[in-house]
Amino acid sequence: MTPAQRAAFFTLHEGLPRQGPGTRRDLDWACRTAGVTPDARILDAGCGPGADIEGLLAHAPRGHVLAVDTHAPFVDEVATRFSGDARVQTVAGDMVDARGPFDFVWCAGALYFLGVANGLRIMAEKLDTDGAIAFSHLVYTVAAPDPAVRRVFDAEPDVMGHIALQALIENTGFKLHGQRVMPHASWDAYYAPMRTRIAKLRPDADEHLSAVLNEAEAEIALRDNFPRHFSYVTSVVTPT
């Protein structure tokens, strides 16, 4: 990605409430399934603009959240929002470098960048005894996804069927405690604000921004046209 393309990408994404599908219900399910305690030490790995931090603190009101993201403006946004809350620490950097131990690692859509197996191994090293990891990841939700869907996602790393993801988790040395496929509301929480932002940016978009907006609209259209063929699934796991 060139500097101009990167700038255009973040022109679209900065200011959005979240950087991927998800809702408080998805987070609540994961925290309950993982048994997050009121004093838990939590890593929000790839926190984006911090959409899930309030929910994490609700489950760990006497705990601590380390919010890490490589994109410094997102981290600055989190730091500003939680500037008066000593329970929240922010770091602009690679989640791989976050130092534990943690009782719970929450990774919303970002384990993708490390690869599921590699990412789980890395995050497991940061866990304290009895710690758990919850992560969301894109999967095919039908046995034979439409060719239009496969053309987009087959080139992406670690996009697979729901059952194949379960097998990968277990073969990597983790116990799967539960999985939850995100419903349409989780996608709408991400795409509804994005649709509004695209419409606002479109009239004055230059060549680079227009390309980013077109790509985002194509992504949204794919989900609109094939909502049963793919989704994110949230998994809660512990090392065996």
* Domain residue spans of the chain: 19-138+173-182
Query: DSSP string covering 142-153, please?
Result: SSS--HHHHHHH
Helical pair 207-225 and 184-201, crossing angle rounded to 10 deg: 150
Instruction: Give the whole-angstrom CA distance, residue 42 versus residue 64.
Output: 6
Beta strands in the chain (DSSP E): 41-45, 64-69, 88-92, 102-108, 127-140, 160-161, 174-181, 230-239
Instruction: Give the whole-angstrom CA distance, residue 41 versus residue 62.
Output: 9
pTM of the full predicted structure? 0.95
Position 156 pLDDT exceeds 90: no
Work out the number of other CB atoms within 10 angstroms of the CB of residue 170. Answer: 13
Position 4 pLDDT exceeds 90: no
Position 157 pLDDT exceeds 90: no
- pLDDT tens-place string over residues 96-134: 999 999 999 999 999 999 999 999 999 999 999 999 999
- pLDDT tens-place string over residues 204-236: 999 999 999 999 999 999 999 999 999 999 999
Is the pLDDT higher at 154 or at 49? 49
Choose the weakest-confidence range: 3-12, 113-122, 183-192: 3-12
CATH H superfamily, domain 19-138+173-182: Vaccinia Virus protein VP39 (3.40.50.150)
The whole-number pLDDT of residue 1 equals 78
